[in-house]
A and B are shown apart, each in its own frame.
Chain A
Amino acid sequence: MLIFTLRRLNLFIFTMFLLTLLSFSLSFLFPGEQLINISGQVNATPKQLMVLAEQYQTDNNIAQQYIAYISHLFQGDLGISMASQLSISNEIMSFLPATIELTLVALFIAMIFGIPIGFIAAIKHRKATDNIILTVSMLGYSIPVFWLGLLAILVFSIQLGWLPSAGQLSLVFEIEHVTGIQFIDILLSDSPYKWQAFQDASAHIFLPACVIALAPATIFVRLARTAMMDVLDSQYIRAAKAKGLSFRQIIYHHAIRNAMVHVIRDVGLQFANLVTIAMVTEVIFSWPGIGRWLIESIFQRDHTSIQGGLLALSSFIFIVHIVIDFIYAALNPLARESRNGA
């Protein structure tokens, strides 16, 4: 396990190095002055610019400039937004939790629907159920998210009036921003309307989360189906059958557990895709997350925010990736140490 952890740590450091290098080079690649791009100080006086130049060591060579940039990052200083002149790290801290909340709920919905349906398809292999599931999941995968989002608003918000169309929580409720994750903040708050707020937040997250979940869910269907078919084909299932176990016992005690291990490994890969879908969905549902903030920054040509936002978002995806790797390793001894397996 130690070697596994070290290997992942190594990967983490190397990837972070590349990410910061990329975001550092963006400040040169964006149009305009590099010092202003990296700091966001568009209204700085010449005197302030001198101080900034010293901080970012723009007179020294590229390596020293990079080190100066990294040291700013370590202090949590990503500069200020060129558009709003607010600290970018504060902005990210206030927007990222909403995205984390939305993507985790979406991931959860995608998993609890996608994986069991995939298993069913595999068990009913080559039967009508399997074909229907495959057709529907293909259809679900092909629907563009911006269209699906608008359709969902049209049907569930406007026509039926069941669910709200925008935002994270009705403005009626006043919930203090503590962690930024709305459900936790509501539970922490001492508002007398806590449960109403909780219901309202659930109603708000339901539609966007389902829209985001659709495409990954269809992928999980296919992954789970393949994994289950592989498992059902394997020697030990045949052995179990020979032992006289019932089909139900084989599925519940052997097949599902082993198939799950394979699916979990791919969840991490799907997460990046999920975040991309979430960015578009956040815009459609006015979700106050990092995706919407980043897209707005792109519209406003706010280079400093784009750099900071990209760095934060990609680190987030990467960290989730590693966490899922660890979960996979914990579930599957084969993955962590070779001596556990053949």
Chain B
Amino acid sequence: MSIFAVNKHLLKIMTLPFLCWVTACNSDNDQSLSDHSIVYCSEGSPESFNPQTVTSGTTIDATSNQLYNRLISFRGEDNTIAPSLAKSWHVTRDGKMVTFYLRKNVAFHQTDYFTPTRFFNADDVLFSFNRILLPKHPFHQVSGGKYPFFQSVSFSNVVESIEKINEYTIRFKFKYADSSILANIASDFAVILSKEYADTLVLKNIKREIDTLPIGTGPFKLKDYRPGAYIRYAPHKPYWDEPSTLEQLIFDITPSNTGRLTKLLAGECDVIAFPIAHNKIKSKPELKLQAVTSFNVGYLGFNTLKPPFNNVKVRQAVALAVNKQAIIDTVYQSKADIAHSLLPRTSWAYDKHTLPQTYDLAAAKKLLTEAGFPNGFTMNLWALPVQRAYNPDAVTMAKLIQADLKKIGINVLIENSLDMGSFLEQLSKGEHQSVLLGWSADHPDPDNFFTPLLSCSSAKSGNNRTFWCHKEFDNLIQQALETTNVAQRKEFYSHALAIISTEVPLIPIAHSKRFQARKNIVKGELLSPFGGIDFSKVSKN
């Protein structure tokens, strides 16, 4: 008899949760916790909690906008520079000095591992940048002494010194004028750390923790992290800007893309990174698929030193014969914007008056005849068989261009047998006639598209794969760097874009998009064309 007595009792206990769950017998709270929490299914674990030391998008997404602030940041549709921890700044006329006036009463995070006793001030700015700049700084070598973003923009060559004028004023001195420097200071990597926290770590002799147990001024603070499983953030209540309305923000680390999709469809994630199966997501009324055009460009570049592409008319003819829309539809599966110029539409220097290269076979043929190739010619086209953010499938793209150019009598030989290393090496030697390449910008300053891709100096170093060196163009982009007047710079850049459009050293093809899917109940912007995801303005209703 005993076993039945036990069983009946057990049955009661065990079925209670299920009964409760089916009938939704909420005893304590009317509102459930998940109404105030956001679960973001991210694609991987961050390598560090300090964006200064990394370049990976996964880490930037997890840390930069959540935990930290920068002195200045990018705002709005055209990514102009806006105040953040610096409430204003002043650039001297020669562009060699910037003074930042810092915001007062900005609190650092209070966590289990650190309690701040003072507000943010100039010492913190000095500490954060000197850590990167000074090899002798006590924290420089912590976490390996590598600051890849700052090294790539040769930050230490530009910055001469940083001075603290008073508690809330700090001055950067530069060796030469470079108007993209503000964009570098506003980038996701240039975050402000707490000097007071660093000092306590030195006393405890656990300097490493500065990058693993982060303290910042951002809208969220770190509560809990399990590598490969999750990151749990709590809102930073005394946040200087508008504090988040969320009770918690959770990064559910789900590397498999089908896993993320399943969790979104099953309602376990509110937002997911890099979704697949776009049509499935679109077919669900409670879900929303969003896209932003990233700051990148996929292009077809000509070696302008080699015939026949040393002739501008031939380049123009090819530009007219390439059907970009077909490429967008097949190679990018419509997950990209057609590129009308080198700059994406979201850049503030984008000029909608720049003449796009249209698809016009008759005009292309005419130009080709004028150039002395009435019967066409044979050319090679290099394509790298590796998926890139700006070009998911260069080989298919090459085949499409091959078919397009056949129509005007040009015979294209596709060269795709090289591995990445030798491909890039032989490109820089200029052994190609034309190539399918692309560029992902490091920061939204428009110069990042011009100088590295098309300047004379990068033609010499081999980074400019078109080897195109145009004096007027070079002057324009140089002048644009020397001034900080945005209207003036915009003017210089639209001239430069017009020159590219007529000279055609390369044909911009597409700006690919970054996608993200979320539930409709998640409100607020969290994806920008540039940099990491930002949850500070996101709420749930």
Contact = CB atoms under 8 A, between A and B. Distances in A.
Ranked nearest first, the 7 interchain pairs of A and B with the lowest CB-CB distance are: A157-B266, A202-B17, A199-B21, A165-B266, A172-B37, A158-B265, A171-B250
B34 A198 contact: no
B11 interface: yes
Interface string B1-33: 101000100110010011011001111110011
B303 to A, nearest CB: 46
Interface string B242-261: 00000010101010000100
Given A166-B263, A172-B248, A173-B33, 6 more contacts: A165-B266, A166-B268, A171-B39, A195-B27, A196-B26, A199-B20
27 contacts: A153-B262, A153-B266, A157-B262, A157-B265, A158-B265, A161-B265, A161-B266, A163-B266, A166-B262, A166-B263, A166-B268, A170-B268, A172-B34, A174-B224, A192-B28, A192-B29, A193-B28, A193-B32, A193-B33, A194-B28, A195-B27, A196-B26, A198-B20, A199-B24, A202-B20, A203-B21, A206-B18
A157 B266 CA distance: 5
Nearest to B284: A161
A170 B262 CA distance: 14
Contact of A260 (B3, B224, B254): B3
Contacts of A172: 33-34, 37, 39, 248, 250
Contacts of B248: 172, 174
Contacts of B29: 192-193, 196
A331 B1 CA distance: 10
A172 B36 CA distance: 9
A195 B26 contact: yes
A164 interface: yes
Contacts of B37: 172
A172 B252 CA distance: 10
A333 B418 CA distance: 78
A192 B30 CA distance: 12
Contacts of A183: 17
B33 A196 contact: yes
B17 A199 contact: yes
Nearest to B266: A157
Interface in A194-231: 194-196, 198-199, 201-203, 206
B18 A158 contact: no
Contacts of A194: 28
Contacts of B207: none
Contacts of B14: 105, 108
A140 interface: no
A271 B130 CA distance: 62
Nearest to B253: A171
Contacts of A165: 262-263, 266, 268
Which of B21, B26, B27 has the most chain A CB atoms inside 10 A of its CB? B21
Nearest to B35: A172
Contacts of A199: 17, 20-21, 24
Contacts of A164: 266-268
Contacts of A245: none
A157 B258 CA distance: 13
Nearest to A109: B14
Contacts of B263: 165-166
A327 B27 CA distance: 37
Contacts of B267: 161, 164
B232 interface: yes
Interface residues of B, number: 37
Interface string A159-199: 00101111100111110000000010000000011111011
A198 B17 contact: yes
Nearest to A192: B28
A336 B282 CA distance: 65
Nearest to B10: A108
Contacts of A173: 33
Interface string A131-158: 0000000000000000000000100011
A170 to B, nearest CB: 7
A171 B232 contact: yes
B230 interface: yes
A286 interface: yes
A112 interface: yes
A181 to B, nearest CB: 14
A158 B262 contact: yes
Interface of B: 1, 3, 7, 10-11, 14, 17-18, 20-21, 24-29, 32-34, 37, 39, 223-224, 229-230, 232, 248, 250, 252, 254, 259, 262-263, 265-268
B28 to A, nearest CB: 6
Nearest to A111: B7
A165 B263 CA distance: 7
Contact of B39 (A108, A112, A158, A170): A170
Which of B1, B17, B27, B32 has the most chain A CB atoms inside 10 A of its CB? B17
Interface in A252-306: 257, 260, 286, 288
A329 B402 CA distance: 81
Contacts of A286: 259
Contacts of A288: 229
A114 B483 CA distance: 80
Contacts of B252: 171
B20 A195 contact: yes
Contacts of A201: 17
A165 B267 CA distance: 9
Contacts of A153: 262, 266
Contacts of A260: 3
Nearest to B34: A172
A174 B28 contact: no
A157 B261 CA distance: 11
B3 A331 contact: yes
B500 to A, nearest CB: 47
A147 to B, nearest CB: 16
Contacts of A158: 262, 265-266
A256 B330 CA distance: 67
B60 to A, nearest CB: 21
B29 to A, nearest CB: 7
A260 B232 CA distance: 48
B21 A171 contact: no
A167 B269 CA distance: 12
A9 B311 CA distance: 92
Contacts of B230: 171
A319 B263 CA distance: 36
Given A112-B11, A172-B250, A202 B262 contact: no
Nearest to A204: B268
A265 B229 CA distance: 40
Contacts of B17: 183, 198-199, 201-202
Which of A112, A167, A183, A196 has the most chain B CB atoms inside 10 A of its CB? A196
A55 to B, nearest CB: 28
A248 B34 CA distance: 50
A331 B232 CA distance: 49
A163 B21 CA distance: 11
Contacts of A206: 18
A227 to B, nearest CB: 14
Contacts of B27: 195
Contacts of A166: 254, 259, 262-263, 266, 268
A183 B223 CA distance: 23
